[in-house]
Structure 1
Amino acid sequence: MATIRRRAAFGLAAAAVLGPTAASASAEPAEAGETPEDVTPSTAARARARIASVYRRETRRARGTWSAFVSIVDPDGRVIPAVDDNADAVVNAQSVNKIAIAVAVLDRVDRGLIKLDQKVELTPEIIIKDGDGIFRLHKVYGDQITVAAALAALLLVSDDTAVRLCGLVCPALELNKILRAKGFVHTQVIPVANPNRFFLGKTTARETHSLLERLVAGKLVSADSTAFILDVLRSKDGYIDGIRSNMSTAERERVATKAGWLNSDRHEAGVIFDGDAKPMLTYAVFAGGAFTGDAATNNANFGGTHPALEARARMGRAMLDAVSKLHSGSARSYRTRAYRPVDGG
């Protein structure tokens, strides 16, 4: 991870918002001197202040080196910053860049160059037998996997083999070209000798935030492709160790999120939706380096007890609470199918 200096610049005032909704019963506890209005504020200005305060507090506690960009959408639909902390630092994106890979693949789908039901083969040599995902667990290989299935595995369980499957239909150089054409000059994968394979590459907090903000605004790919990405990232079966950790099932489904980790890096980026299924808050939070505690222990811990993940869990709860009484001015909403557990049959 590139060495970056800590700095923070936090937003000022914003307009008042429309009618409130009920506060969560499991809100992030107030610190000394804070009031319930501080925790679940009724104005955008106070929501921004709350988010900035919790970010400062949690990054100090966790230590490490952070870069982040967090914004909320005001009632007029304006994207206004709450956290801008070294957001232009170029970092190793890790699996957060799997969102960008999905955008590039779906861009090719939108242009009719490939199809979601097109098949790629799960051959033994394409399997990454370590790391994350479900394809490596099959034990026997030769399956014909649709592009849609590969993308779902890529985004939902961060499947590493799915990266290679996506490379079969969107080679590295083409992938980077698509992202550059959309304005993402730092959010790029790293090509290797095999044109269909690549490392996950770099990004910045600002570019990742922009990618997500433009995605939910419908400015990157088609409406169907946008819904595909957001439906997967919002699934309650997805990542829950960070931002979504201290939330109910219903609350988790209001959050589209993607995490990434390797060595000391612990990253996460996503979108929180309001009660009307409109995008309310976008976050890109990247961290690495020397966190609180033993470095070797931390580097081997990818679970919720890692200091950075504990920090993000408290940030996530606080961010959700901070916008719980507010309504997004976004023109777009993204509803998901209701979750109803079943016992087979």
Structure 2
Amino acid sequence: MGGVAAAGVVLGSAATATAAASDEEEIVAVDAASANRKIARTYGRETARARGTWSSYIAVAGAQAAAVEDRADEVVEAYSVNKIAVATAVLDKVDRGLLALDQRVDVTADIVIKDTDGIFGLDGAYPSSVTLGHAMAALLTLSDNTAVRLCGLVCPAAELNEILRAKGFTHTQVVPVANPNRFFLGKTTPRETYTLLQKLVGGTLLSKASTEYLLNVLRSLSSFTDGIRLNLSSEERLRVATKAGWFNDGRNEAGVVFDAEGRPVVTYSLFASGPFAGDAAANDVNFGATHPALRARQAIGRTLVDSVGRFSTPAALTFKARAYQPSNGG
């Protein structure tokens, strides 16, 4: 790895000089190396502007070094980014024949979290039941926290952590509580979350069917749109599999950007906590698109998407997204 940029980002040596270049200079990503430089410069500029403490890892397929390696081994609060890890453990059990996506889980009044995220707290009709696949879709697209508890019914905390450890993720762990079927979402490192996503698109994390299920859900247009995906078209959003996480002063997001042919090109893992630019009290209760960290991720996301498609990348597997097909009911 090369030098250190002004924002404290460790960059590949070819990227260091470019990260300090003027904002007016345009970098066209014609290969992995220039994509690295483009991404590194945007990351350095935007995180410096947003302030806060960032721990991140961003890499372009085919590049000799990461575009961004910024406190990448720091153990951080994952918040809802760890819902990808929760889904991974559940799908691992599906792959082993211990669970099925079409099996039903009970939604009882006492299991519903009365927060303002997701959908289970809104329907007001309990008891009811949904399929495990439905619960997982709500977990990942709407970041529904009741869905975390529904996953815990079929994959208790201790088992979930053991599945993740067996796959090599010793820091990506949930936090058990007295009820064995419930847990807090726990911690990770940027490098481990990056590695989990890399194994996913490499086909070594889960079965082919479970891999496609997970990526299809994460690429849904219903998935998080306030950060990396905000300044993208519908077609571009369908090429970004992403999961955000937020709580207190933390604002996190991780995912994969695919090219038009479905090749995974850029994998990103971004974890940030305050104090950010501006009023700290206002920032701490702002979980929307106007938060400084989300503004930074919006610019980074635009750069990530602009950095794919102009050069070929090594990819053993491709995952082409379905074209968006809106409906008017009927």
Aligned with residue 214 of structure 1, among 199, 204, 207 = 199
Cα distance change, pair 338–212 in 1 and its aligned pair in 2 (3 A): same
- Give the Cα–Cα distance (whole angstroms) in 1 for the partners of residues 325 and 274 of structure 2: 41
CA distance in 2, matches of 1:31, 1:320: 21
Using the alignment, how far apart are the partners of 1:337 and 1:50 within structure 2? 28
Mean Cα displacement is larger for which, 331-340 or 56-65? 331-340
Distance in 2, matches of 1:79 and 1:184, equals 24
What RMSD in Å do the two structures reach over aligned CA positions?
A: 1.5
Name the residue aligned to 1:330: 315
User: Deviations for 1:193-235, whole angstroms, at most 9, x for unmatched residues?
Assistant: 0000000000000000000010010111100000011000001
Q: How does 1:71-150 map to 2 (within 5 A)?
A: 71-74=59-62, 80-150=65-135
From 247, 252, 267, the counterpart of 1:267: 252
Deviation at 1:338, TM superposition (A): 2.0
Equivalent AA in structure 1 for residue 220 of structure 2: S
Give the SS at the match of 2:322.
coil
Partner of 1:64: 52
Preserved CA contact (<8 Å) 1:73 1:80: no
Take 1:308 and 1:82, find their aligned partners in 2: how far apart are those partners?
19
Deviations 1:166-210 (A, max 9, x none): 000000000000000000000000000000000000000000000
Please list every run of 5 or more consecutive structure 2 residues that lacks an aligned counterpart in the other structure: 1-6, 16-20
1:13: Cα distance to partner? 5.2
Q: TM-score, normalised by structure 2?
A: 0.94
1:53 maps to 2:41: yes
**Which residue does the alignment assign to 1:289?**
274
Distance in 2 of aligned mates of 1:184 and 1:52: 26
1:308-319 to structure 2, matched below 5 A, reads: 308-319=293-304
Task: Choose 250-259 or 134-143, whichever is displaced more.
Answer: 134-143
Shift in Å, 1:79: 7.2
Alignment of 1:153-192 (within 5 A): 153-192=138-177
**Residue deviations 1:75-127, cap 9 Å, x none?**
xxx67411000000001100000000000000001001111111110100000
Q: Which residue of 2 aligns with 1:20?
A: none
Q: Distance in 2 between matches of 1:137 and 1:320?
A: 34
CA contact (8 A) 1:71 1:79 kept: no
Offset at 1:336? 2.5
Q: Aligned equivalents of 1:236 and 1:244: distance in 2? A: 10
Change (3 A) 1:144 1:33: closer
How many correspondences in the alignment? 319
Deviation at 1:245, TM superposition (A): 0.6
Match of 1:233 among 172, 193, 218: 218
Distance 1:32 1:200, change over 3 A: closer
For 1:67, give the aligned amino acid: S
Alpha-carbon distance in structure 1 between the residues aligned to 2:163 and 2:285 = 35
The aligned runs of 1:11-30 (5 Å cut-off) are: 11-12=12-13
CA distance in 2, matches of 1:240, 1:79: 30
Q: Which of 235, 256, 273 is 1:250 aligned to? A: 235
Structure with the larger RCO, 1 or 2 (CA within 8 Å, 6+ apart): 1
Which 5+ residue runs of structure 1 have no aligned equivalent?
1-5, 15-29
Cα separation, 2, equivalents of 1:80 and 1:279: 16
Find the aligned partners of 2:138 and 2:119 in 1 and give their Cα distance: 7
Q: Within 1, Cα distance between the matches of 2:59 and 2:269?
A: 9
Q: Which residue of 2 aligns with 1:24?
A: none
Give me the TM-score of the superposition, normalised by structure 1: 0.90
- Rounded to whole Å, the distance in 1 between the matches of 2:56 and 2:162 is 25
Do 2:201 and 2:211's aligned partners in 1 also have CA atoms closer than 8 Å?
A: yes
Alpha-carbon distance in structure 2 between the residues aligned to 1:33 and 1:182: 44
The one-letter code sitting in structure 2 at the alignment partner of 1:151 is M
Describe the SS at the equivalent of 1:228: helix
Give the secondary structure class of the aligned counterpart of 1:9. Answer: coil
1:137 deviates by 0.4
In 1, are the aligned partners of 2:258 and 2:308 still within 8 Å (CA)? no
SS in 2 for 1:81: coil
| Aligned residues with identical type, % of pairs | 57
Q: 2: distance between equivalents of 1:32 and 1:318?
A: 13
Displacement of 1:322 after TM fit? 2.0
